[in-house]
Structure 1
């Protein structure tokens, strides 16, 4: 008891630390779920000292060898900091799983229901459906002042809003009984409630499917990023195998804002855009590749997207000016290449290197230069990799010189008119 009391007193001193870890993790999760178009309620908590003491006493009593020191206790209790993700739609668990694996360093994951422990009551329903993760914050996603929080383990629980509500009731009544062991009748009622929750989840899945069907119609308009996300998930799942394309959606909220700005928020515009995207396996996510298709070769759309990006970018003023200068030179070059490939293949409005090669109009040096500049363009427009301002300006000058050179080869008649 003395050791456990010492542990609890030590934990009380660290309570604010674990509270801060939970707040930071929940904030990251809430942001990526929202931007990815997944509806959810995200909450967090640090373990209550009173409940923690009860848990440590129970675990200590079941151990073959009692705890020897506080370090053993800290290593054994994995949920000192907890984050709960309550999904509106249980069908979004798979997408939430991918986001969590991208955002956090995963120590362990577990999927429920488990069949390893036989129930004390002959249950008719399957019980708790959820995914649990034990994770660390990734240092690369933390500010310098937040690095110390990356040493704490976090438990993330992902389930539907209905399932979380039922599990809270069941857990408190069965695992933390204040008035003794539950009767058969009480256990039967809990089982009945579980059946109602599972039926509710089926209804939620049907509701989600009905919404998806509604926004597939040709006249549908996307009212928010969640509807846009559902449309994109369904389109990609229907048209690509999972091994052919990675469904990392990226910032759908930003894509939605761009479409809103450009007045393209309907299925009749989105359908042709998606059909013309090649969906390459590179550093760009799905949203970024769609955005590239929308803005390619169009200076007005580039400026609209850069304006939206500036609101969330932390680039300094010198780099922002250099990037703007680069794109003022890149966009005319891109438009020239788009027109060239469009003439040879009406299904393409955005150029690709293979299409240019098939035309046999450009030498290898020019093709390599185009490929390099396009790679840098992708990195700059999406903040994937941003070099120093001076180097960005050099790239802009290179794009200008290349455009003037290629214009003589690809559009000689226009050059003759100018002369």
Structure 2
């Protein structure tokens, strides 16, 4: 973590020594960010703990060939499973596709989303790396054959597949483990956490007494995110280490909020959610997006079947909260975030009672999402084939040539199936062209 004398490395960025912190505006700006953002590793060597596990995953990905068994990363949250996959995808130039498996529990949804990936490269032309997080979340009764289908698909993958689970202590995950290579992650040892905490505090010119640091390390239970959040809250003057603090999954928190009988109870669900109000200026990962309270509330509201008046009233409140979060991020006034749960709890409460609103990670219901996803897959294949015929890149053909081609075919009343046959394209290409011509024609009317 140290460079040349007087330099510090933070999240892959070289910064000047902390002794000059107040002379450098950029340095002050970075030190006002959330610590979980500052210290998010950009390279494998910047991670701490689980060295053997990290090496095993890196070797597997560097030696991957078609048909290699998928990886199943097993370990508690906050130890770097997701971060490692993201870092290695960049290192080995894979196009990373991240999915939360617990949001697509049944066989039909999983096959619809995953199988097309096994037959295609990404739009960029790079090989895809599929990362399925929280696969232990599809082991309940409601999975409707999800695990069995996943086991079948994982027997002959044509792209690298990495899955993650917090535990493998149930029969269905053990079934999945039989077709995977298991890599176990452990909580980061207290000694390494303690050294890392000292390093972070020194970078920010902050001090905590020994008892406070021991308490933060012990309460983190090997979770690096928890360590950073607790430490940043403590140096900011908040008592973030009470015995009664607990967290619940974002889905349970949102469902609990909308079924609460009082604003106070609703606020309790928001306060204990394993979720945050991320800074919109710095972008967020798919996992962080799932744990974004505003995004979770928004997607749950707009995908529900409620009246337009009720939806408008709820979104009006939510949009104002979103503006507040943006201004807090712009002015780096993180202490104001503590008021947002109150604003949401009371602001949304009256218009959201008895409306049947349930948590949904996506802002569209599945019957709407599925055709969009299917269209994306068919168009991706079509563009790839036509770009090859035109001797140009897929991005150029899709953005520049395709709209003109579709319009010319409409104007000349060309038969898309005959067009595909002349170019030796398959039937699906003709079908995709026909649908695109129909869609473009409707827009013109």
How does the TM-score come out when normalised to structure 2? Answer: 0.24
Q: Give the alignment's TM-score, normalised by structure 1.
A: 0.25
The answer to which structure has the higher helix fraction is 1
